[in-house]
Amino acid sequence: MPLKPVAIRFDVSILTKSPLGFSLTLDVDTGPETLTDLRVNFLRGTIHAVRIREGLLLQGTVHSQLELECVRCLEHFLFPVAVELEEIFWIPGSGPRPEGAYVVSDSGWLDMAPLLREQIWVAIPMKPLCRPDCKGLCPNCGANLNLGPCECETTDVDPRLAALKAML
Ligand SMILES: [Zn+2]
Ligand SMILES: [Zn+2]
């Protein structure tokens, strides 16, 4: 079932006007969510947001979990992700915008969804494996070899069966 893309929004307007060094704790606890093109089962973490000269410095860890497809056996499996965040959100009017920085809206809202999406994408392996020693699929019959040997394998190793097959 497709889920609607979300914004993970926090009202940080109190920090936009506060002196440097003031901070807020932002609790992330949501899911399942679809971050544009990325579906996650949950997002959980605690982020510390500190007022700095350019805006807000966000620091903390967010835990998540995705469902991936193993490149060898094609089974789906759950993949845990922990992203360590350290990111500046620029507050308009607080000097020049740091290159590539996310922006706090004029009304003082911060959306963490694009940042989390980006960081989780980076954590996904290019070739996901359900386990390091996944045996994959038999190239002959397509059986999942993690569940046990397939028929072809026995035929190959048993010379008597091979001889019988040749006779038939
Ligand atoms: Zn596998
Ligand atoms: Zn086979």
pLDDT at 168 over 80: no
**Ligand 1 being an ion, which residues bring their Cβ within 5 A of it?**
70, 72-73, 130, 134
**155 torsion bin: left (phi>0), alpha (psi -120 to 50), beta (else):** alpha
If you measure from the C-alpha of residue 143 to the centroid of ligand 2, how many angstroms do you get, rounded to a whole number? Answer: 6
Beta strands in 16-156 (DSSP E): 23-30, 33-35, 38-40, 42-51, 55-69, 76-90, 102-103, 109-111
What distance in angstroms lies between residue 159's CA and the mean position of ligand 2's atoms?
16
The two structure tokens encoding residue 93 = 């009017």
- Is the alpha carbon torsion for 63, 30, 5, 107 positive or negative? negative
* pLDDT at residue 1 greater than cutoff 60: no
Q: What is the pLDDT of residues 114-164, one digit of tens each?
A: 999 999 999 999 999 999 999 999 999 999 999 999 988 555 555 566 566
Query: What are 43-90's pLDDT values in tens digits?
Result: 999 999 999 999 999 999 999 999 999 999 999 999 999 999 999 999
In degrees, rounded to 5, the angle at the alpha carbon of residue 55 between the alpha carbons of residues 24 and 115 is: 80
Give residue-wise pLDDT tens across range 12-41.
999 999 999 999 999 999 989 888 888 999
Residue 3's pLDDT is 47
Cα distance between residue 104 and residue 107, in whole Å: 8
Residues whose CB is under 5 A from ligand 2 (ion)? 138, 140-141, 143, 150, 152
Residue type, 43: L
| Ligand in closest contact with the CA of 133 | 1
Residue 164's pLDDT is 60
Indicate which ligand has the atom closest to the C-alpha of 140.
2
